[in-house]
Amino acid sequence: MHLLPTTNPSGRERAMVTEYPPLRLKSDEEALLFKVIAPEPEWKERLLSRLSHKGPLWDKPMNNALEAGLEGMTMYFFQLRLGDVAVGNLTIVEALDRPIALLQHVFTDPDHRRKGICNSMMQAMVDDFRARDGRAMYLGTGYDTPPYHIYRSFGFEGIGTTGAMVWALDDAYPESYFAGGPVLLRPMRWGDWAPLTALYQQIDGWDLRGYCFGQFGHSSYESTFCRLQEVIEEGKAAHATVLEDTTTGAVIGHAFIMQDEKWPGGPKVLECFVHPRYEDRTPELLSAVAAAADTRLKAYADADASGKLDALEQIGFGREALLKAQYVRKDGRAADVVVLTRR
């Protein structure tokens, strides 16, 4: 395995591309595997040409990461090539010194399946993540499908039956990560992509976690994060803020204000989710975000989310309606929803 020198925009040479020793596939073909750490503009066309099917929601962050990087986030690409042809791709995004990561875009060319390409890329990725003292990695796939069982063979475990999975390298995870340390408020950034998925995938906590994007119970924030960044750019959402545990770097709370587009000229909605271990910090987060909006605000909470309801009332929201049996939770129980307004 050796590093390939490349040139960064300032003209200085650096090594952000790793070429692995040649691999022998099940077909007896010799393949080359590369690891590319963004930003790496010289590899942008080679990598994105195999990912164009993901669509514009994903194209923009991948393009920006490869061109110049994204704040607080590292993106890794593993690409397997037969000669000049890319036949497999795997991408992860991660943050923090002891990384929390998202596994994305695992793809093998249909004409080259059953050759061990996926397993070769996965093995290189898990070895690399383990060597960097990774803490946990999340992914989403179809529950009980062939990919689901491939991921299980590499240490990933299902989170319920949704198809979400997590590979925890720390035996004490998630308690060691959501450790209850001191917190700080700061603006949301791209580096929160994986940590926000770790937050929203926790089993415990408020059930209605996001009205605008339909976040109920434990759920991925992978594509939702891209959608949120998109609507922020469009001016339809603002004041995205997180609470960070300063000991572990965990994102333990998240709030923003977004236009409710379900109704013509609809109200703005204050969205918020806080990890249950830090629920007492909810008023701090909500107050900071709500204070930035000089307008009427709506908020929604499942009726069992007493910590969220109390925090909203502390900052001037009043209960306006109770929607009985408004939806069904993942455990099959009907859930009531409280509608609140700050005028």
> pTM of the entire structure?
0.93
* HEC sequence for the chain: CEEEEEECCCCCEEEEEEECCCEECCCCCEEEEEEEECCCHHHHHHHHCCCHHHCHHHHHHHHHHHHCCECCEEEEEEEEEECCEEEEEEEEEEECCCCEEEEEEEEECHHHCCCCHHHHHHHHHHHHHHHCCCCEEEEECCCCCHHHHHHHHCCCEECCCCCEEEEECCCCCCCCCCCCCCEEEEECCHHHHHHHHHHHCCCCCCCEEECCCCEECCCCCHHHHHHHHHHHHCCCEEEEEEEEECCCCCEEEEEEEEECCCCCCCCEEEEEEECHHHHHHHHHHHHHHHHCCCCCEEEEEECCCHHHHHHHHHCCCEEEEEEEEEEECCCCCEEEEEEEEEC
List, in order of start, the domains of the chain with CATH numbers.
2-134 (3.40.630.30), 183-342 (3.40.630.30)
Q: What is the pLDDT of residue 141?
A: 95
Q: What is the pLDDT of residue 14?
A: 42
Q: What is the pLDDT of residue 52?
A: 66
Q: What is the pLDDT of residue 15?
A: 52
pLDDT tens, per residue, the chain with 343 residues: 655 545 443 333 345 999 999 999 999 999 999 999 999 999 999 999 878 667 788 889 999 999 999 999 999 999 999 999 999 999 999 999 999 999 998 999 989 999 999 999 999 999 999 999 999 999 999 999 999 999 999 999 999 999 999 999 999 999 999 999 999 999 999 999 999 999 999 999 999 999 999 999 999 999 999 999 999 999 999 999 999 999 999 999 999 999 998 888 889 999 999 999 999 999 999 999 999 988 899 999 999 999 999 999 999 999 999 999 999 999 999 999 999 999 8
